[in-house]
Structure 1
């Protein structure tokens, strides 16, 4: 039951976070909604898969086109694989929390499918910074290390969302939550599993050639973003929402690339 159940939870996480066609082995012919909550501990593993897909596209494209083209194709590939799931969270979060509105009004705006000026600016700047940072990384560190960075950043940024699930209560309208099982605090055991995946990904990045201190800088930068987002969300909404988790993923992923590029001599001049 143990390993089979964990394998099932991995598939649930893949189905939830990506558009990959996976078949979930049911229990007594039924899907248990509790699996959606429990599968969060495997989000970093799914993030690593998404990053690995982006890394494959990056490596292939870098052999044919300039770094900026390879980076944009890689980003497009990961957006396609996830259906823009997290990017949508950035836009909605910026729209809802960009202005000086009440909590109730912010939640109302975040549920609106229309894109506002704050959302457009927030998403545009996030993607632009990510593209420039990755281009600088590819031009200076090379395809192999940049590929490893993609796997690391995508995996650890999903771990960051699990940390948020532990730090904060649900701050949205529970009656209208799209994924109600996720609208509850994750257990310590679940957080430990997610952090364990993160530790394995950090070790893999070191084995791939990234210096340990650089990987620690990535973890520190991402932890800082999580702390800032958690404080901001607690003050504005009283907790997290699904959109806020998506924004946290995107901004911690960006923080990872910025931390890696910061110590590379001449990186920004080559971007």
Structure 2
């Protein structure tokens, strides 16, 4: 229901079609757990690579790898040309799907390692990346027609209201983060919009699989963008 393995909250019974709007809140909760883990292992003086590995594995465990499945299916679809919908619906994973997964995880690991070694404010980055990446599916739903009318992408799109309202929870979170940690947080919008526009254009629309892919690739792009901000001296304070 909440795109994660987090337990449901009492008294809350949201409709699945409306969950996309609140996904940034769920992402923020996952990021807080990751941030707490980072704070706990930092005094142990583990190698930075070990700390980054724990953070990444924690996210995969909390999400159940749901969005990573979309990365593989979308890659298989993009490599199949006119048969992309058939390839994306196939439960088997092709060579391009495996390659895309490996590429994503390597880039994600490299991005986190870059930021950790640069002594970036890791909790702030975790929160920013989690929230920004979960705004990407909202943009994809608004900018791309459903590829399958019976798919989850079409179901979510049918439930969407005006994009301004859909982005309201994420906007409040990101506004609070930028006030607390600095305006560099808002640069994540560049990565999110570029990734979303590219995947929507390549696919000719969106589906449940591509929404997961947009989320994962946006998170990775945000990491490298924030790393670039540090490297150029823009300063993540």
Q: Which residue, out of 29, 36, 40, partners 1:60?
A: 40
* Residue 266 of structure 1, CA deviation: 8.9
Give the Cα separation in 2 of the matches to 1:243 and 1:263.
31
Per-residue CA deviation, residues 100-128 of structure 1 (Å, 9 max, x unaligned), is x21xx212211222221101111111111
Q: Which runs of 5+ in 1 are unaligned?
A: 1-14
Q: CA RMSD in A?
A: 2.3
1:8 counterpart residue number: none
TM-score normalised by the chain length of structure 2: 0.88
Query: Among 114, 131, 136, which residue is 2:114 paired with?
Result: 136
Give the number of the structure whose alpha-carbon radius of gyration is greater.
1
Q: Judge conservation of contact 1:165–1:185 (CA < 8 Å) in 2.
A: no
Quick one: structure 1 residues 133 and 246, their matched pair in 2 at CA, closer, same or farther if it must change by over 3 Å?
same
Distance 1:56 1:36 in 2: 29
CA contact (8 A) 1:148 1:205 kept: yes
Matches of 1:76 and 1:149, distance apart in 2: 17
3-state SS of paired residue (2:135): helix
> Partner of 1:111 in structure 2?
89
1:160 aligns with 136
Structure 1 pair 208–127 and aligned structure 2 pair: CA distance change class (3 A):
farther
Secondary structure (helix, strand or coil) at the match of 1:156 reads helix
Contact 1:61-1:73 at 8 Å conserved across structures: no
Aligned partner of 1:184 in structure 2 is 158
User: Are 1:259 and 2:233 matched, yes or no?
Assistant: no
Q: Does 220-229 or 129-138 show the bigger shift?
A: 220-229
Aligned to 2:6: 20
Does the CA-based 8 Å contact 1:156-1:201 persist in structure 2?
no
Contact conserved, 1:52 with 1:151, CA < 8 A, in 2?
Answer: yes
* Cα distance in structure 2, aligned partners of 1:20 and 1:43: 12
Q: Compared with structure 1, are the counterparts of its residues 229 and 179 closer, same or farther at alpha carbon in structure 2 (3 Å cutoff)?
A: closer
Q: TM-score, normalised by structure 1?
A: 0.78
* C-alpha deviation, 1:178, in angstroms: 5.3
Structure 1 residues 202 and 246: CA distance shift in structure 2, 3 A: same
| 1:69-148 equivalences in 2 (<5 Å) | 69-99=50-80, 101-102=81-82, 105-142=83-120, 145-148=121-124
